[in-house]
Amino acid sequence: MNGISPSICSNVRAHLFQMIQSVRAVLLCAVLLCTSTSIAQEQVTPLHADGWRAIGKSMQERSAFNRRQQPQVNKSESPRDIDSGGDLAYSTAQEQIDDWILDRDVWDGSISMGTDGTRGNSETERIHGQVELERLTRCGLLELELDYIRSDANDQLTKHHALFELSHQWIREDSPTSWFGEFGIEYDEFKAFDMRLKANGGIDRTLFKSERNTIISRFGAGVSKEVNGPDDRVVPEAVFGLDYAHSKDDFQTWQIQFEYFPDWTDFTEFRIEARVEWEVILDKDYGLSLKMLGIDRYDSTPINRKPNDLTYSILLSWKL
How many residues are listed for the chain in this entry?
Answer: 320
pLDDT at residue number 55: 41
pLDDT at residue number 23: 54
Residues 300/303/306/311 CA torsion (nearest 10 deg): -80
pLDDT at residue number 110: 95
pLDDT at residue number 304: 87
Question: Nearest Cα to 277, choosing from 121, 115, 183, 147?
Answer: 147
* 194 touches 211 (CB < 8 A): no
CA distance 303 to 311: 20
Q: What is the pTM of this model?
A: 0.68
Q: Give me the domains of the chain, ranges plus CATH numbers.
A: 61-98 (no CATH), 107-319 (2.40.160.40)
CA distance 206 to 214: 8
The angle subtended at Cα 290 by Cα 63 and Cα 73, nearest 5°, is 30
Question: Nearest Cα to 311, choosing from 203, 178, 151?
Answer: 151
Question: Nearest Cα to 222, choosing from 171, 161, 273?
Answer: 273
pLDDT at residue number 22: 59
| Cα→Cα distances 118→109, 111, 313, Å | 31, 25, 16
CA distance 189 to 157: 10
CA distance 70 to 67: 8
CA distance 140 to 254: 23
pLDDT at residue number 172: 86
pLDDT at residue number 177: 95
CA distance 147 to 161: 8
Q: In the chain, which stretches have pLDDT less than 70?
A: 1-105
The angle subtended at Cα 315 by Cα 310 and Cα 316, nearest 5°, is 170
